[in-house]
Amino acid sequence: MRKVFAILLSSMLFACAPQVKEGMKTSFKPIDSLEIHYAKGFAVNYYEDYKELLVFSSDRKDTLHRYYLSTDAKEGLVQTPIKRLASLSSVYAAYIEELGLEGSLVAVDEKNYINSESILKEIETREIVELGSLEKVNHEALLMAQADLIYTFGWQRNLAGIEDKYPNIIFAYAYEYLEEQPLGRAEWIKFFACFFDKEAKADSIFQEISTNYENLKSLTAEVEHRPKILINMPFKEQWHMPGGLSYSAHFIEDAGAYYPWDTLLKTNSTPLDWELVYQKAFDSDFWINTGAYSSYAEVRRELPDMDLFEAFTHKRAFNNNARMNDFGGNDYWESGLLHVDDLLADLIVIFHPEIVPNRELKYYKPLADE
């Protein structure tokens, strides 16, 4: 069996000439560009017979990746639309479903973590292989999948030699997780769509999301009281608090609430001692994103000192795990990262129920009162 696999490996790697994944730099001026309203991490330029995708560092000082795509088969260009897709995170399942690309999917990281009903239906009716994470990829399964494109997180780009082993597969690295604004993160559906010539559809989907988000945000602009919010859970006596410029901080602000660490002018989290968090947030009105805990009894058993926080004693704690499947796959990290308008609506329901009196929670739920 191993000999057969070795022969298959050799034939598939060298059967055709290596395809240039990130193309050549161009000196021509684009004739058009894709409108990007919130995302800072990518740009799309259109030329006469191809398009250029640029992926930037978080400070936009460096271009990390360039992809040159064309509907025609041309040397040095990636031919679109991509026919066979491998998605190495369930985060991207929402893109696939919304753009109607389930039929292109040939491989995923782990099936059990997927919540998308349309993708799960595809898994039931035909072979979609499991690859695992890119750093521990199942090479035999990847070869058998015959994927044209692997879509994965940008932080995996430095894995030693992975691209050299598969010269005929396009590795598309996404950095949506570095975006500060919720709508910036959601707008990466446009980047994903470029590999399938679905930009118009992606733009339509995003426009609906952004309009809903901005309308909801406007409802909280003049609220008289902004409740204080405690977020996340402590781990080993430390609390990792998102920076005041982070995705989470923007959500809290846009939902009409006050985040005590909004003066931390950074995006990444800062580890803080439990005592420091208590001093600043003991009187918080709400506690959200409570991690592994789903009930007050669980929290009290594992973290008895939470009884010192008013949000806990007043039973105003909410977790973002209302849409969890039987294997631990949380739809908050799947469809929720695209439909940020629904996430914002949930937070407004929690912080200001009087503003949206008829709206029910979708991704959040209160801790169980056991």
For range 90-103, the mean pLDDT: 96
pLDDT in tens, 175-190: 999 999 999 999 999 9
- Residue 22 — pLDDT band, cuts 50, 70, 90? low
For range 277-284, the mean pLDDT: 97
What pLDDT was estimated at residue 282?
Answer: 97
Total-model pTM: 0.91
What pLDDT was estimated at residue 264?
Answer: 94
Between 314 and 165, residue with greater pLDDT: 314
- Residue 25 — pLDDT band, cuts 50, 70, 90? low
Helix extents (H) in the chain: 2-14, 93-98, 117-125, 139-145, 162-165, 182-186, 189-194, 199-219, 247-254, 274-281, 296-302, 310-313, 340-351
C-alpha 294: how far from its chain's center? 23
Give CA separation, 273 vs 166, 241, 303, 362, in Å. Answer: 45, 10, 14, 32
For residues 346 and 324, give the distance between their C-alpha atoms in angstroms, rounded to a whole number. 16
Neighbours of 92 (CB within 10 A): 27
Q: Domains of the chain by range and CATH?
A: 16-211 (3.40.50.1980), 220-366 (3.40.50.1980)
The mean pLDDT of the chain is: 91
For residues 116 and 94, give the distance between their C-alpha atoms in angstroms, rounded to a whole number. 7
Residue with tokens 């604004």: 181
b/e map 169-183, b = 16+ CB within 10 Å = bbbbbbbbebbbbbb
